[in-house]
Amino acid sequence: MTLKNEKNQTLQITLPESMVQEFDQISKSKGYQTRSQALKDIISKFIEESKC
């Protein structure tokens, strides 16, 4: 999947505060600097796995 030249689209989701806090802790520990970076990676993996 090539994303570099694609236009970005903003998504808005609502999650429980505790889930956001845990996500932030885990994503930082894995080296992500932003939620967007972590979510792009997670969604890309989800899409690739769903194609199999």
Domain that holds residue 45: 28-52
Asked if the structure places residue 19 within a domain, the reply is no
Longest dimension (CA), the chain: 35
Asked if the structure places residue 49 within a domain, the reply is yes
The pTM (predicted TM-score) of the whole model is: 0.80
How many independent structural domains does the chain possess? 1
DSSP for 1-52, written as a single string = ---TTSPP--------HHHHHHHHHHHHHTT-SSHHHHHHHHHHHHHHHHH-
List, for residues 5-40, the tens digit of each pLDDT value: 889 999 999 999 999 999 999 999 999 999 999 999
Give the C-alpha separation, 35 to 21, whole Å. Answer: 11
Asked if the structure places residue 32 within a domain, the reply is yes
Asked if the structure places residue 4 within a domain, the reply is no
